[in-house]
Structure 1
């Protein structure tokens, strides 16, 4: 099953084409990396897939559903989650509450009356959510920091908080933008283990080629807004066009 289909996507800024007829697919359960030199269009592509930017041509489909004109919020509720190059955490909330925030949109059921009377269903939902928070904190190596305030954490740990929040609501498609930025070698290795263990589809942009080659099933290479190669890590590492444009 194809989880993500990008078909003929173009984005122009004035006379500059940031993306030019970009097309590729990501199969369900696959980890796909997007690489390329600075200015290749990687972040613009992520903005199009997540709905922050509408393409001037082409379309984006997730699980067979055309989401090209759908808002970022509706894409998120359809199962698409994203992290960013610059970490975006709620600094005044604890690590646990940062992750819990990703589940609040579901509501607790019963409305205000349920809050006032302590409806059992509401308490059950809250317990289930907190169990999920504990699960993803443990997965991301953050269980010892659940009560720490996010603002007090170094950038590497804030990035892991953002990852945990993205995972909390069982995403069907997870977009990771420079996920190893700010991580030390141990955290990067652990992140690779986490990504490979996920039962979801992952699209990631990353400059750490060791991480990309070790973690991804397939790789898409962009240069000057165009796809110049797709393939397995082994195929990409031996591709002369890619080596000339980026790896060489």
Structure 2
């Protein structure tokens, strides 16, 4: 579903990523771990199109999307959350989620907007129904009218998750998803993700969470892949223990 091939990113003389290659099969959950500064978030930026790599290729379903921007990749089903939740603070919780689905429109363009065609009204009603359903699944349905800026970090993270999954992603990238969540929220977050028909790429410092949630682990250190395999094998890898698990 998603593959990076010999990807490198340089910031001046600093090599944030060097020769990173791996592929994740459709429907699989892959964790990316490593110490601070290993290049995990930079890798996410490359996969989602926020940053173009200095070298290498990114493929989605076998198609080269290296030169494709973030908006186009989102339209192709690539969605993400961020290490620090990125919500639209001046919008309500419901409006945050609607923002993820309204790009599809309702057909008919401006004339349809002006006359309020029945098809357009049906499309709007369906989007609102979908948004409400996702908010309930994420445990924040009662907050639909609250402004996102007024919420604590755990609830903002759930809003961000709802927005990311509202339009049924094919690839979902989660950057430190459990940060700021309490135990109940973490369980609900994991339940929502497990219920998706999507390929998931997950960056998380909670090693126990990663090992339990992922079928495969890729370990980065100083911008390079030092291990790639099933959780049990990665946990016992001497290079991983020296660099990260200690």
1:101 alignment counterpart: 99
State the secondary structure of the residue aligned to 2:99: helix
Q: How does 1:173-184 map to 2 (within 5 A)?
A: 173-184=171-182
Which consecutive residues of structure 1, in runs of 5 or more, have no partner in the other structure?
none
CA distance in 1, matches of 2:233, 2:189: 24
Deviations along 1:31-58, one digit per CA (max 9) or x if unpaired, are 1110000111101101111111111111
The answer as to 2:173 corresponding to 1:201 is: no
Distance 1:13 1:112 in 2: 44
Partner in structure 1 of residue 56 of structure 2: 58
1:119-178 superposed Cα distances (whole Å, 9 cap, x missing partner): 110011011111210221122111121111111110110011011001111111111111
Q: Mapping of 1:112-151 within 5 angstroms?
A: 112-151=110-149
Query: Mean Cα displacement is larger for which, 192-201 or 66-75?
Result: 192-201
Are residues 1:21 and 2:19 paired?
Answer: yes
Deviation at 1:115, TM superposition (A): 2.1
Report the Cα offset of residue 112 of structure 1: 2.2
Partner Cα distance (1:34, 1:165) in 2:
22
Say if 1:11 and 1:55, in contact at 8 Å, map to a contact too. Answer: yes
Superposed CA RMSD: 1.0
CA distance in 1, matches of 2:186, 2:166: 20
Aligned equivalents of 1:31, 1:165: Cα separation in 2: 20
Distance 1:44 1:172 in 2: 21
- Aligned partners of 1:71 and 1:239: how far apart in 2? 36
Q: Under a length normalisation based on structure 2, what TM-score does the superposition of the two structures give? A: 0.97
CA distance in 2, matches of 1:155, 1:203: 22
2:67 counterpart of 1:30: no
d(CA) in 1 for partners of 2:58, 2:174 = 17
Give the TM-score of the pair, scaled to structure 1: 0.96
Distance 1:25 1:106 in 2: 29
Structure 2 distance, partners of 1:197, 1:108, is 28
Instruction: Work out which of the residue numbers 35, 42, 45 in structure 2 matches 1:44.
Output: 42
Structure 2: segments with no counterpart, 5+ residues: none
3-state SS in 2 of match to 1:54: coil
